[in-house]
């Protein structure tokens, strides 16, 4: 908005509370606070233990009942009630599947090293064939070498 526009002001003028009214309200609150502890000291009333369980409500919480299932009231725990070894949380499906997959991979590698899997048997057979071919090639080279020596 451009500066100097006299129509730009919206809202009401601010109203300030009189200092005398503030003092009167403060005195009334102090008197009310003095009256409450006297009533709570009666041996017949057990309200003091109930007051400790509910925290002091802020803002309009005391005026409006809130029915929110997701809202969790914070409770103060006593040291004796705290469990030092909390139960382990249950794993999610993805975490459980990942652990199972890793364990299966480890089992397979163990069997593979022992030569009990099909792939390991195939690898060993291939390795045996290659060794046989290399032995045959080495014998052929030796026989060719002997033939050249006898000719020479």
For all residues of the chain together, what is the average pLDDT? 81
Q: What pLDDT, in 10s, does the model give residues 124-133?
A: 999 999 999 9
How many angstroms separate the CA atoms of 20 and 120, rounded?
95
Confidence of residue 7 (pLDDT cuts 50, 70, 90): low
Is the pLDDT at 89 greater than 70? The verdict is: yes
Residue count (the chain) = 152
- Average confidence (pLDDT) over 107-134: 92
3-state secondary structure of 39: helix
Q: Vertex 17, ends 59 and 34: CA angle to 5°?
A: 60
**What pLDDT sits at residue 130?**
97
Domain boundaries, the chain: 93-151
**Mean pLDDT computed over 9-16:** 76
Model pLDDT, residue 144: 93
**Who wins on pLDDT, 40 or 104?**
104
Arithmetic mean of pLDDT, 101-121: 91
Distance CA 15, CA 54 (A): 36
What does the pLDDT average to over 85-114?
90
């Amino acid at each position: 908005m451009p500066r100097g526009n006299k129509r730009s002001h919206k809202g009401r003028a601010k109203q300030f509370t009189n200092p005398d009214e503030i003092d009167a309200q403060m005195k009334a609150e102090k008197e009310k606070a003095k009256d409450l502890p006297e009533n709570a000291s009666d041996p017949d009333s057990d309200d003091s233990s109930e007051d400790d369980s509910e925290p002091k409500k802020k803002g309009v919480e005391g005026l409006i009942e809130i029915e929110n299932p997701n809202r969790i009231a914070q409770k103060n725990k006593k040291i004796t009630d705290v469990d030092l070894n909390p139960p382990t949380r249950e794993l999610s499906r993805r975490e459980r599947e990942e652990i199972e997959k890793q364990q299966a991979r480890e089992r397979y590698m163990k069997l593979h090293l022992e030569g009990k899997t099909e792939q390991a048997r195939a690898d060993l057979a291939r390795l045996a064939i290659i060794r046989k071919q290399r032995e045959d090639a080495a014998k052929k080279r030796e026989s060719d070498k002997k033939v050249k020596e006898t000719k020479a």
